């Protein structure tokens, strides 16, 4: 058995069933080995950022890693932004990065680069396999590292000669760490804070955004205790029947308003809140003056267990308060981000998976979908745009039978537009809605907020996408995805209905004015 065959066999035995790949010459033995391990499905992605974003979407929904196969340092670098988002999401993910044969490296061939350094920026675990005999064990360890709670990017660097040499053997799965158990002391401390009756916010995040955590947290909410969540959760279970929680706003001034008057902030899977960016004269930390921060549970901990233990301590008889079913009426007239949100809220299918990269066009989506049937909401955890279309591919492959909605701002969609080809190639049940406002709208606002004086026509031109006009229906059909166009609410509703009723991928380009 060569190294590549042992590697793939080990991955399959460890429960890895998908590899999102953009291979090159140094990965050809890995590619050939796919035919010896039929349990591992190779999915071709036409850009590495699609492969890594898809592996992120897969890991968030499956709770176990997919592999992303990348070609040396440049391939890894192309995939880095979405590995960054995966790192922020705490997604279990295995990046396999091919490298030159070990003896070839000293010749400094054109693709030679410092892969270890690039990988270090986004990985919680990095190993360069030295011998084909070690590769199986390295792979099993990589998977265990990727799955250690809450999840991380594990990068295995695979020299071509390690891949092609014989004498390799598959390894058995390695033990995976469980979430750290509930800490009694933290429960007692949070209990006395909650009993004290001073204004308190429980800030939820990470695994606390799944149904069990939300139900336990809901038992704790009351007159002096409010629930809020981190701004960009990796996976938020929401909708009718699940206790709702408002997300902390992206804009620091709005988030400061949400937290004003809070004397105690209890963190349950979330980090202390900070401003997304620094703004001249404004604070970086969003913890209000005089507010004490208490850590109930961190992301690697049993967050839901900690919340449940806290609820049993201070509110043993309290019941969770679920969101009532409620949908907006289908609106009429011209399309805007607001009416588009109402259309989506009216039609969102049960058990949908929403990949939200709608940016400024998404302001009304949360409200419009709050009472829709239960669904999962995946967000831009690391703020690196170009995530949504790849994320949708991975989520759809992780959850066949569920509708995936990619809600995409036009600027962000263009970063990884080739993901549409993978949607079509794999015939994934993904409906993409492009919010075409034809600009980088948020940056128009940020230009003013950071106080960048003197911005004129030259500056505005860098934020404008209006010419040449991006024709998303042509882009989609050119990659095999049927597409339609909507400039009224009724057209969006018709397009969405059809897309959701038919199997396979679809795209609707929604022409919306920018919100400012």
Ligand X SMILES: Cc1ncc(C[n+]2csc(CCOP(=O)(O)OP(=O)(O)O)c2C)c(N)n1
Residues that bind ligand X (CB under 6 A): 81, 359-361, 383-386, 409-412, 437, 439-443
Smallest distance from ligand X to CB 344, Å: 15
Query: Nearer to ligand X by C-beta: 504 or 513?
Result: 513
How far is CA 426 from each of CA 45, 185, 351, 433, 480, rounded to the nearest angstrom? 10, 50, 21, 19, 11
Q: Which residues contact 57 (CB under 8 A, 6 or more apart)?
A: 355, 378, 390, 391, 392, 393, 394, 395, 396, 398
Residue 46: strand, helix, or coil: coil
Q: Is the dihedral of CA 448, 454, 456, 460 positive or negative?
A: negative
Torsion (CA) 355, 356, 357, 358 in degrees, nearest 10: 130
Query: Among all residues, whose Cβ is closest to ligand X?
Result: 411
Query: Nearer to ligand X by C-beta: 162 or 385?
Result: 385
Residue 455 CA to residue 445 CA, distance in Å, equals 12
Smallest distance from ligand X to CB 409, Å: 3
Query: Nearer to ligand X by C-beta: 91 or 360?
Result: 360
Residue 79: strand, helix, or coil: coil
Smallest distance from ligand X to CB 327, Å: 24
Residue 159: strand, helix, or coil: strand
Smallest distance from ligand X to CB 223, Å: 37
Query: Nearer to ligand X by C-beta: 256 or 442?
Result: 442
Query: Nearer to ligand X by C-beta: 32 or 445?
Result: 445
Smallest distance from ligand X to CB 8, Å: 31
Query: Nearer to ligand X by C-beta: 190 or 470?
Result: 470
- Long-range contacts, 326-332 (Cβ 8 Å, 24+): 326/240, 326/370, 326/371, 327/371, 327/372, 328/368, 330/489, 330/490, 330/493, 331/489, 332/488, 332/489, 332/490
Q: Is the dihedral of CA 447, 448, 453, 455 positive or negative?
A: positive
Smallest distance from ligand X to CB 81, Å: 5
Query: Nearer to ligand X by C-beta: 217 or 512?
Result: 512
Q: Could you tell me if 113 and 73 are in contact, meaning their C-beta atoms sit under 8 angstroms apart?
A: yes
Residue 72 CA to residue 87 CA, distance in Å, equals 20
Smallest distance from ligand X to CB 176, Å: 31
Using only C-alpha atoms, what is the Rg of the chain? Answer: 24
Query: Nearer to ligand X by C-beta: 383 or 480?
Result: 383
Smallest distance from ligand X to CB 494, Å: 24
The gap from C-alpha 499 to its chain's centroid, in whole angstroms, comes to 23
The gap from C-alpha 497 to its chain's centroid, in whole angstroms, comes to 26
Query: Nearer to ligand X by C-beta: 337 or 479?
Result: 337
Q: Could you tell me if 340 and 489 are in contact, meaning their C-beta atoms sit under 8 angstroms apart?
A: yes
Smallest distance from ligand X to CB 337, Å: 8
The gap from C-alpha 314 to its chain's centroid, in whole angstroms, comes to 34
């Amino acid at each position: 058995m060569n190294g590549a065959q042992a590697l793939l066999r080990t991955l399959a035995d460890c429960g890895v069933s998908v590899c999102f790949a953009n291979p090159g010459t140094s990965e050809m033995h890995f590619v050939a080995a796919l035919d010896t391990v039929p349990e591992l499905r190779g999915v071709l992605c036409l850009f590495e950022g699609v492969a890594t974003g898809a592996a992120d979407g897969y890991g968030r929904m499956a709770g176990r890693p997919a592999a992303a196969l990348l070609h040396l340092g440049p391939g890894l670098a192309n995939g880095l932004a979405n590995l960054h988002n995966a790192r922020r999401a705490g997604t279990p993910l295995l990046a396999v990065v091919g490298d030159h044969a070990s003896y070839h490296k000293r010749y400094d061939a054109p693709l030679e680069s410092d892969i270890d350094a690039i990988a270090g920026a986004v990985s919680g675990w990095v190993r360069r396999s030295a011998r084909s005999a070690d590769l199986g064990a390295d792979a099993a360890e990589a998977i265990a590292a990727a799955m250690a709670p809450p999840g991380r990017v594990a990068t295995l660097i695979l020299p071509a000669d390690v891949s092609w040499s014989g004498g390799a053997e598959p390894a058995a799965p390695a033990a995976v760490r469980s979430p750290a158990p509930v800490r009694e002391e933290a429960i007692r401390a949070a209990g006395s804070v909650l009993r004290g009756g001073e204004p308190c916010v429980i800030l939820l995040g990470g695994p606390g955004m799944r149904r069990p955590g939300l139900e336990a947290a809901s038992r704790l909410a009351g007159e002096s205790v409010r629930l809020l969540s981190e701004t960009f959760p990796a996976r938020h279970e929401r909708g009718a029947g699940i206790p709702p929680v408002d997300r902390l706003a992206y804009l620091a001034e709005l988030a400061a308003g949400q937290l004003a008057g809070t004397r105690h902030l209890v963190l349950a899977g979330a980090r202390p809140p900070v401003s997304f960016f620094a703004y001249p004269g404004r604070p970086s930390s969003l913890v209000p003056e005089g507010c004490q921060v208490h850590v109930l549970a961190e992301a690697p901990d049993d967050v839901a267990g900690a919340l449940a233990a806290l609820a049993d301590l201070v509110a043993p008889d309290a019941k969770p308060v679920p969101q009532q079913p409620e949908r907006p009426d289908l609106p009429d007239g011209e399309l805007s981000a607001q009416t588009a949100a109402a259309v989506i809220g009216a039609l969102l299918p049960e058990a949908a998976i929403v990949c939200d990269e709608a940016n400024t066009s998404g302001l009304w989506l949360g409200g419009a979908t709050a009472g829709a049937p239960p669904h999962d909401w995946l967000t831009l955890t690391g703020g690196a745009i170009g995530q949504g279309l790849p994320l949708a591919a991975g989520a759809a492959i992780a959850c066949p039978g569920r509708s995936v909605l990619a809600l995409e701002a036009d600027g962000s969609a263009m970063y990884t537009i080739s993901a549409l080809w993978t949607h079509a190639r794999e015939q994934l049940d993904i409906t993409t809605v492009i919010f075409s406002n034809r600009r980088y709208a948020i940056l128009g606002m940020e230009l003013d907020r950071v106080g960048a004086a003197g911005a004129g026509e030259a500056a505005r031109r860098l934020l404008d996408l209006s010419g040449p006009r991006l024709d998303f229906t042509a882009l989609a059909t050119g990659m095999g995805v049927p597409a339609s166009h909507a400039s009224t609410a009724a057209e969006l509703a018709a397009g969405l209905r059809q897309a959701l009723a038919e199997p396979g991928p679809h795209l609707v380009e929604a022409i919306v004015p920018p919100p400012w």
